[in-house]
Structure 1
Amino acid sequence: MRGFSLSFQLDPRHKEPLYRQIYQRVKQAIMAGQLKRGSRVPSVRALASELGVARATVENAYGLLMAEGFLQSRGQAGTVVSAPESLSSPEPAPVRKDAGRKPINPMLPSVSSLPFQLGLPALDAFPRAIWSRIVSRQIRHTGMNDLGHPPLAGTDVLRHAVARYLQLSRGFTCRPEQIFICGGYAPVLDLIIGSLLQPGDGVWLENPGYPVTQAFFRAAGAVAMPVNVDDEGMNVPQAVKQYPDARFAVVTPAHQSPTGVTMSLARRMALLDWAAQQQAWIIEDDYDSEFRYHGQPLPSLKSLDTQGRVIYAGTFSKVMFPALRCGYVVVPESLVEKIEAYCPLRICGTPPLVQSSIAEFIEQGHFYRHLKRMRQLYAERRGYLEQALTAQFPAEVLRVNQQVGGIQLSASLNTRLDDALIAKNAREQGLAVQALSDWQVERRERGEALRPNGLLMGFPNISSQEQAQGLVQRLERVISGFLK
């Protein structure tokens, strides 16, 4: 292959069949000169294993390329590029020195679905046929009144459906009027910050913690107050001692992001006591609590709140699929009027058609069945990745951290390795791993005791042990370059 890899991600949702996607990618590589005349392409078996598809799919793609003269079979010698040299080696265009130098922000979701991408549920396992029927039915029953301006706080039907779901699944009761539908997690933060925060307000942030949360509060003029995370979650006693007068705390108590630990009951009660005494607000980001592999999901922090200090944020992006652009926030009764007053200043990015379809998906029981299936599936797929990592890497190089749930896996690295450099190189090779050190609230230099050093990997779209092994082998090639 002369240094060129045919590893790429197929999109099962694309209108083009999988064999056509493979055909197009190989053809583009030949046309762009990445595959030279006479260079050998992977065998049908090897490429099918790498991409996680049937051999017949790759055979169909190769057959079409051979028919068009791009490839030629040489029997035991394999399949090679047969396109004319003039076609496979175009004159290189002049490149500006700064072209392609724009750094990748690893915290922003990728437009395409890259291997190990965080926050991406199992797209192949979503019941698309059921969803399509529901959306089609909603379209057929669209009335004249549905064509006007949508409700600023969200449709009543979805707010009622979410209220019933939270009572059954997350252990607390709320009125539909307390629920505000938003176009994802970022708009949830925008609604809360725009309604409640004053520049200069202090906010406790889990350290390490979700970079998007950090960015939003900093942009609004808040003072970021990093609170270390240990095996009991956010270290509340430390925060009370260092930053007693903060006005907000943002936590992921069910499955801390990114470490995966669960906040202990003692820490939860201490956090609630502090908020009640200081009249502060707790934002509970319950981003993936439903995906717990052993036992039932733990009750939410909101279910323990007797003083009305917890603002609960949930999302459908990680439970269903990100393209919905739909999240929600549940606010205490005392904040309903204030949040409603801010609603005209922001736009709910989720169309009413989508909201009504989600509500029907929930009410017909499809949502609960999907969750149950995904818990089992994610435990299986996490196992694929964990087994592959354990088999490929010695424990002194990379060690998988144990977690009870979630849709991302974290692994600790040898202190001689720099997780940020490894993640950067991996992204350049098409692997969307992230470095734990990039999730720090306060940047610490390599070697400092509290600096995290590890990798984060999404696994929901790893559908087989063979696929996991292929991806981990690619990651091993990146890491091995830093061990020499």
Structure 2
Amino acid sequence: MQPLPIDIDRKAKTPLSEQIYAAIRAAIVEQRLAAGARLPSWTDLSAQLGVARGTTRAAYERLVDEQLAEADGARGTRVAERPPLDPRQAEAPAAPPLSWPFQDYERAPLLFRPCLPAHDAFPHALWSRLSAQAARAAAAAPLAYPDPRGEIELRRTICAYLAVARGLHCAPEQVIVTTGYFGALGLALRALPLAGREVWLEEPAFPVTREALRFAGLEAVPVRVDAQGLDVAEAVRRAPRAALAAVTPSQQAPLGMAMSLPRRLALLRWASETGAHVIEDDYLGELQLDGRAAPALASLDRDGRVVYAGTFSKTMSPALRLGFLIAPPALAARFAQIAACLAPAPAPATQRAVAAFIAEGHFLRHLRRMKRLYAARRHALTIALREAAGEDAKISACALSLKLDLPEDADDLAIAARAVAAGLAPAPLSPWYAEEPRPRGLLLGVANIREARLAEDCRRLLALARDG
């Protein structure tokens, strides 16, 4: 038997047995050692390499454990049979880049990026203290599985907050803590009887919501919104047998209008009469810059048709990955069972910190400060954008963003891509629409702006838009 060529480095920090194992494994995987080939005995190999026999034995035992080799008694150790390597898998292609709006993940907030809270105004010191206290408490807790619905302290606190701020009265048993809004949406899509059914979706709507419905095997029927929100009569004409409506009634995303009371009552009446359900995405809660936010749609629900979803991503930080769902009383047990099996609540320490943040009054004070700050920044951005674009520019306020309309032939996706390369991150408007005509425009977030350089940043953005 020819000696097995193995190079070892005695000065390396990697143990010798690890080096021997890696060298033989590479020869097997790369098919330089054929299936069935006999390996030198670990005694012979140790003599060849000048190492202790226990060193080579440990390497061989690991190869056997990983089913790369077989110990066959007197026949020695042989290379195990393996499926032939597919040449197409030898060099895996690079994963394609994510398209908008996914490509910004893990990137520091760029100017004009919508859907993010102000980084410079978050109470970092206070949050660090509460997080540390919660982490210590969680570490000292009994070693048991946590409640998959979420920590009871947070669920009680959410109930108290919703009763005061959103006019919604619920019990802790109805509350399920989720990984943000899409954790709540995924749970609802599993728990409700929706298979193969149609879903009313606002037009425009957040593109990720549309994708989530598609992945769930549901047909999203886009229904245009007007100044009063979702046109329920039009929705009934387009999809009378729909099983679900997904809406943002308090502040329509992205246009910002509130659903009127007649439309709310019509939506609830449709759901009650047809046995359908409504998912209320209350993504901004009471963070309303103009006056007080309208009460939650779920506060009007008397028949258990509304699944209410809230999130702390816009009001506190998306890094928390924390949201919550309020299940109708008759469905609370089903939602809890599905959460326990498929989508249990996130880490208890973060939940406890958020519960303390709300219970001690910091959350409401934070929201009041953010309302003043965002209103001031929106005003400053409106003035700077108007001065840079001219009085004929079509600029409108949309919740925590400004909408800048572009000509019909503009490529807002290309403009947004060029803006990212220039350190700016407005969102293109057209992907929010599913049907033609898709208005072209840019959504400019007001939360993360630099007021001292706002005029220059607006001029840079408009230069990119004109080039498109």
Match of 1:472 in 2: 458
Q: How does 1:63-212 map to 2 (within 5 A)?
A: 102=97, 104-107=99-102, 109-112=104-107, 113-142=109-138, 144-212=140-208
**1:412/1:187 CA distance change after superposition, 3 Å:** same
Deviations 1:341-386 (A, max 9, x none): 2123323352100101110111110011001111100001111211
**1:253/1:108 CA distance change after superposition, 3 Å:** farther
Q: Which runs of 5+ in 2 are unaligned?
A: 1-92
Match of 1:123, SS? coil
Deviations 1:311-357 (A, max 9, x none): 10000111111111100000110111211221233233521001011
One-letter amino acid of the structure 1 residue matched with residue 446 of structure 2 = F
Measured in 2, the distance between the counterparts of 1:199 and 1:140 equals 44
Q: How does 1:45-444 map to 2 (within 5 A)?
A: 102=97, 104-107=99-102, 109-112=104-107, 113-142=109-138, 144-348=140-344, 350-396=346-392, 398-403=393-398, 406-442=399-435, 444=436
**1:140/1:427 CA distance change after superposition, 3 Å:** closer
One-letter amino acid of the structure 2 residue matched with residue 110 of structure 1 = Y
Name which one, 1 or 2, has greater alpha-carbon Rg.
2
Q: CA RMSD in A?
A: 1.9
Measured in 2, the distance between the counterparts of 1:128 and 1:197 equals 42
Structure 1 residue 168: deviation in Å? 0.4
Structure 1 residue 144: deviation in Å? 4.2
Match of 2:434, SS? coil
The 4+ residue runs of structure 1 with deviation greater than 4 A are 98-101
Measured in 1, the distance between the counterparts of 2:400 and 2:450 equals 14
Match of 2:397, SS? coil
Structure 1 residue 140: deviation in Å? 3.3
**1:190/1:103 CA distance change after superposition, 3 Å:** closer
Match of 1:417, SS? coil
**1:178/1:387 CA distance change after superposition, 3 Å:** same
Match of 1:64 in 2: none
Structure 1 residue 467: deviation in Å? 2.7
Measured in 2, the distance between the counterparts of 1:147 and 1:361 equals 25
**1:137/1:331 CA distance change after superposition, 3 Å:** same
Measured in 2, the distance between the counterparts of 1:470 and 1:132 equals 35
1:289·1:298 contact (CA, 8 Å) conserved in 2?
A: no
Structure 1 residue 395: deviation in Å? 4.2
Measured in 2, the distance between the counterparts of 1:467 and 1:290 equals 30
Q: How many residues align?
A: 375
Measured in 1, the distance between the counterparts of 2:328 and 2:357 equals 26
2:149·2:345 contact (CA, 8 Å) conserved in 1?
A: no
Measured in 1, the distance between the counterparts of 2:333 and 2:361 equals 32
Measured in 2, the distance between the counterparts of 1:349 and 1:477 equals 46
When the two structures are superposed, what TM-score results if normalisation uses the length of structure 1? 0.74
Deviations 1:42-76 (A, max 9, x none): xxxxxxxxxxxxxxxxxxxxxxxxxxxxxxxxxxx
Deviations 1:379-411 (A, max 9, x none): 011112111110101244x421134xx322222
When the two structures are superposed, what TM-score results if normalisation uses the length of structure 2? 0.76
2:114·2:445 contact (CA, 8 Å) conserved in 1?
A: yes
One-letter amino acid of the structure 2 residue matched with residue 362 of structure 1 = I
Match of 1:119, SS? coil
